[in-house]
Amino acid sequence: MPKINGNEIRPGNVLEHNGGLWAAVKVDHVKPGKGGAFAQVEMRNLRNGSKLNERFRSADKVERVRLEQKDQQFLYEDNGMLVLMDTETYEQVQLSAELLGERRPFLQDGMMIVVEYHQDEALNASLPQKVTCKVVETEPVVKGQTAANSFKPAILDNGVKITVPPFIAQDEDIIVNTETMEYVERA
């Protein structure tokens, strides 16, 4: 694995540090008045989700890990395990639903997701950025209510509660951003 200097760490990099795999979440480069510059790095453990703040000087060497990304198709869920199919080999794998976290409700049958592997261990999974959902419950449309930035609560077909603009009616399809869990546009 390639070693990089402490000042080359960027957000999104995966590092091997203290015997664990860590994703750099936030990186601040600090140049104090006295002493050498350093990078203050906030990291999240990819295995257990714990966080760590660490200082890396430019002379420090850290292992940068490259994760293998595979496109996989979601087939079904069984006892908290997601059954996915590798689209190249047609091999089926089971991964914990915990891998998706709070984005789990947006997973739909047949959806393609990107799973990141380190050797044979799945560490992260990401959904498409935009997903189409149906509004199953919201307040009725009120004519003349066009005030800017006025949103109303809505419940989607997957049980997730979000806010939508006042012109969105019940049983309407909308597009939701899976990263921010916010309304994007009508479908």
Residues whose CB is less than 8 angstroms from the CB of residue 101 and which lie 6 or more positions away in sequence, other chains included: none
pLDDT for residue 180:
85
Q: 101 by DSSP, 3-state: which? A: helix
- pLDDT category at 166 given cuts 50, 70, 90 is confident
pLDDT for residue 124:
82
pLDDT for residue 171:
92
In one letter, which amino acid is 137? Answer: E
Q: Which residue has the tokens 């991964």?
A: 95
DSSP assignments along 10-74, one per residue: -TT-EEEETTEEEEEEEEEEE--SSS--EEEEEEEETTT--EEEEEEETT-EEEEEPPEEEEEEE
Query: Measured between alpha carbons, how far is 166 from 49 in angstroms, rounded to an integer?
Result: 37
Do the Cβ atoms of 95 and 81 come closer than 8 Å? yes
Arithmetic mean of pLDDT, 113-119: 88
pLDDT surpasses 70 at 148: no
Query: Measured between alpha carbons, how far is 19 from 145 in angstroms, rounded to an integer?
Result: 57
Arithmetic mean of pLDDT, 45-59: 87
pLDDT surpasses 70 at 145: no
- DSSP character for 163? E
121 or 142, which is more confident: 121
Residues whose CB is less than 8 angstroms from the CB of residue 70 and which lie 6 or more positions away in sequence, other chains included: 86, 88, 114, 115, 117
pLDDT for residue 147:
59
pLDDT surpasses 90 at 144: no
